[in-house]
Each structure stands twice: as C-alpha cells, then as structure tokens.
C-alpha cells in the first residue's frame, strides 16, 4: 500500500518509509552500498563529500538521542549540513500544524527529512505531501516500521552468516508493539530467510501473527532450538503496568536470554539487540557482553547502513565521489 510512493518515476528509491513491499534488489543494493562505507572506519579521514551542500533535518517528534545521533553522524560523514529539531520544543506548541512545520522546513530547501514520530503512519503521511525533490527516511513511526534498524540487522546477519538461504532466526520479546520486529520480519522474508520465528508470551503476540510468514512460540527453549540468529527486543517497562506481562522477575525467568536458554540455539548462533538494553530484564549481562553477542557491531553497521540509504536516496553512490568537490 505504501510501497508505491517509495520510488520515483524512474524506479529510483525516493523515500524509505517501510520495508514492506520493497523489491529484493533494493535491499541488496542498500546492503552492498553500506559494505563500501564500512571500510571507512579504517581510513584516516572518515568523511566523503557525497552530500556536500545538502541539508538534512532530523525532525524528532519523539525523543531518541541514540537514533538521532546515528543519523547525525551518518549525514556528517557524508558532508551534509545537519539541523536537529526536537518538535516538542518547536512552533507546533505555538499552534502550527505538523504539515505547516514540514512545509516551512521544505521551503528552506531541506533535501532530506529524517522523521521519528510516536504515531504509526506519520512518516507516510508526511512523505505524501513532499514535492518530488525532497526525501524522507522513517526513523521509527509508532508500532509500524523502523526500516533502517531492519536493514542494519540484515547487514549484520549477512556479514556474519554469509546469507539468508538456510537461515533460522528467532525474534524474542514484545512482538505486538515492536516496529523493529515488524520491519525485520519483512526484510528477512524478502531476503529469503526460510525459518523466521517469533517468541513471546501470548499477550505480546499479534493475533494471526502467522499471516506475516512467521511461526509463533510461547516456549523459549523450543523457539530457540537450532536457530542461527537470536534477536532480542527491548521490553518497554510501561507494559508491566498494563498487566500484559507478569512481574519483571517472572518475565526474565521465562523470556530473558540466559546462557542456559541460548544453549538451545546453534553453537555459533549470534545474539542481536536493537538497544537500549534492559540488562537483567530481557537479556543477561553474561550474554550481552559474551562472545556470541554482536550488539556493538550492529551499532557500527548502523552508521554505514544509514550512510548508504542517504547516499542512494539523495542520488549519489561512493563511485560518484570523484566527480564532486
């Protein structure tokens, strides 16, 4: 449904709003481009002039220092100018509508908006109103989508497991409210992962979750049995109050990732987490800091993946680097 407006008339990626409906080749192009940015960490100067003169606005209606920082660093390494706007403190408090805020920033020749919003569909709504030369990356909208997180997860999996053909992945935690889970499931299916499992208490699973192409488990040991990848989700402590889960201690006993439970996965299984972690709630520190954890490589890859999405959307690629100033 939302897939169409993600491309321009020439089939080029214009916005990144959701993973759902993207062609496999688009995902592969993003991962391949990100690959080319990874070597930058070894270079003396980590900057490329690909987006010099471009204006990137981080427009965060929901605060997230971590995610804002990853996009800010990615844009600056591409030499863009970055403007950070936390909307709670801006003129929407003066009665201006969100679309007027967007139109104004666009009139200042913003080239790319990076938008986070607590409402599902907000990124799509905003993108619909943008003129052809203005772009948008969804940095998380409600419980709907978080496409760059899914891409960095897939990048990390491909980097460490070589591909998706024979892959068995378990996603564990609050599937019901998780934009991370939703986007990752779409990405893994598009990239061809044959076995995708979701592991959660029944209260935290969407109804008819099988229609997403995943197999649900409410027993963690069965869910992790023989998998190559374990993706732990962050548990919002607010869920406690809603009685959707039992006590923190009971949740940890049943669904917290411990060495005992991880032993049911393949011996070389990797453990992922989108952060920020609740140590001792959804994940034991022995795992978070252990040899199977790839949580910090995920963060590193997140910069490269966001650079790749920005570069592709704004029309350049590292190969063009020589052409510009």
* Residues annotated as part of the active site: 66-67, 94, 116, 146
Instruction: Tell me which residue has tokens 């998706």.
Output: 164
What the block records as the tokens of 234 is: 């962050």
- Write b or e for each residue in 115-143: b if 16 or more Cβ atoms lie within 10 A of its Cβ, otherwise e: bbbeeeebbbbbbeebeeebbbbbbbbbb
Residues near a copy of itself, by CB under 8 A: 41, 43-47, 52-55, 63-66, 69-70, 72-73, 76-77, 81, 83, 85, 89-91, 94-97, 100-101, 103-109, 237, 275-279, 281, 296-297, 299-300, 302-303, 324-325
CB of 88 to a copy of itself, least distance (A): 10
Distance CA 8, CA 16 (A): 12
CB of 211 to a copy of itself, least distance (A): 31
Q: Which residues does 13 contact at the CB level (< 8 Å), separation at least 6?
A: 6, 7, 26, 312, 313
89 versus 247: smaller Cβ distance to a copy of itself: 89
47 versus 166: smaller Cβ distance to a copy of itself: 47
56 versus 170: smaller Cβ distance to a copy of itself: 56
Which string of DSSP letters, residue by residue, matches 43-79?
SS-----TTTT-EEEEEESS--HHHHHHHHHHHHHTT
Query: How many Cβ atoms are within 10 Å of 88's Cβ, its own excluded?
Result: 11
CB of 57 to a copy of itself, least distance (A): 8
The answer to whether 175 and 233 are in contact (CB under 8 A) is yes
């Amino acid at each position: 449904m939302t897939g169409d407006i993600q491309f321009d008339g020439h089939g080029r990626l214009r916005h990144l709003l959701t993973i759902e409906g993207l062609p496999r080749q688009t995902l592969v192009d993003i991962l391949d481009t990100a690959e080319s940015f990874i070597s930058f960490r070894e270079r003396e100067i980590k900057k490329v002039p690909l987006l010099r003169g471009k204006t990137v606005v981080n427009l965060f209606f929901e605060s997230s220092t971590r995610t804002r920082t990853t996009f800010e660093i990615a844009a600056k390494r591409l030499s863009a100018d970055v403007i950070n706007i936390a909307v709670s403190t801006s003129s929407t408090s003066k009665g201006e509508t969100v679309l007027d805020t967007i139109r104004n920033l666009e009139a200042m020749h913003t080239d790319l908006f990076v938008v986070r919003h607590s409402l599902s569909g907000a990124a799509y709504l905003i993108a619909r109103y943008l003129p052809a030369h203005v772009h948008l990356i969804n940095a998380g909208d409600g419980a709907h989508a978080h496409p760059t997180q899914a891409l960095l997860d897939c990048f990390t999996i491909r980097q460490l497991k070589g591909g998706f053909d024979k892959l068995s992945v378990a996603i564990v935690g609050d599937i019901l409210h998780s934009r991370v889970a939703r986007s990752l499931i779409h990405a893994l299916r598009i990239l061809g992962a044959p076995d995708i499992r979701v592991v959660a208490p029944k209260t935290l699973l969407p109804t008819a979750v099988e229609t997403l192409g995943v197999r649900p488990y409410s027993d963690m040991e069965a869910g992790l049995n023989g998998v190559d990848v374990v993706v732990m989700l962050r548990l919002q402590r607010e869920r406690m109050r809603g009685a959707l889960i039992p006590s923190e201690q009971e949740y940890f006993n049943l669904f917290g990732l411990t060495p005992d439970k991880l032993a049911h996965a393949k011996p070389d299984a990797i453990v992922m987490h989108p952060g920020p972690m609740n140590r001792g709630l959804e994940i034991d520190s022995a795992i978070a800091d252990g040899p199977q954890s790839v949580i910090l490589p995920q963060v590193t890859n997140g910069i490269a993946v966001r650079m790749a999405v920005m570069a592709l959307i704004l029309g350049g690629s590292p190969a063009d680097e020589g052409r510009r100033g």
